[in-house]
């Protein structure tokens, strides 16, 4: 079941407002839902050319499902670039972390790691024990990574093998998506 971190259900709102459930907030900050990029005219021309190239290929090979996927993906990207990201509240508490309106207990989180290479990357990653859940990426904004690390080390194991951003994260930044 997917959880929308922007719009809490009544039960989620009650549980995050009740500090007995989540524990005392030790540190908190707000971050943007996603990173905004400056995209020039060249970016839009290249994106349109690539989309049209894939679209022509799909029609030429009679793969209309692929053509539909290209059209839908293009529309999603167009709507996304014209939308301002929401601000999401993040809290490190005694019992776990609160991301937006959803609480994540330390029992559910396997490891954490911090990639800190300013100004390019200042990011906290949380990895869940459930293998099918994706890692969560939290921008550190202006927070001191050493303080964040010290707070999380009290309850979680740090993954010292991760030294760089994931390949998918690097590709996303390169393509400005």
> When comparing pLDDT for 137 and 166, which is higher?
137
Q: Which pLDDT value is given to residue 62?
A: 94
pLDDT, tens only, 15-29: 444 455 777 888 888
What's the rounded mean pLDDT across residues 33-38? Answer: 77
HEC-encoded secondary structure of 153-177: HCCCEECCCCCCCCHHHHHHHHHCC
């Amino acid at each position: 079941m997917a959880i929308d971190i922007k719009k809490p259900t009544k039960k989620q709102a009650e549980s995050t407002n009740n500090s007995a459930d989540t524990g005392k907030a030790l540190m908190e900050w707000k971050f943007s839902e996603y990173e905004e990029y400056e995209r020039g005219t060249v970016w839009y021309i290249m994106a349109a050319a690539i989309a049209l190239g894939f679209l022509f290929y799909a029609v030429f090979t009679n793969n209309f499902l692929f053509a539909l996927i290209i059209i839908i993906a293009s529309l999603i990207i167009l709507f996304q670039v014209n939308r301002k990201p929401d601000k999401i509240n993040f809290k490190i508490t005694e019992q776990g972390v609160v991301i937006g309106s959803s609480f994540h207990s330390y029992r559910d989180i396997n490891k954490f790691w911090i990639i800190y290479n300013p100004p390019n990357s200042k990011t906290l990653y949380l990895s869940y024990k459930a293998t099918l859940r994706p890692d969560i990426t939290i921008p550190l904004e202006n927070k001191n990574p050493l303080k964040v690390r010290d707070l999380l080390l009290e309850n979680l194991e740090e993954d010292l093998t991760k030294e760089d951003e994931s390949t998918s994260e690097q590709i996303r930044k390169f393509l400005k998506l």
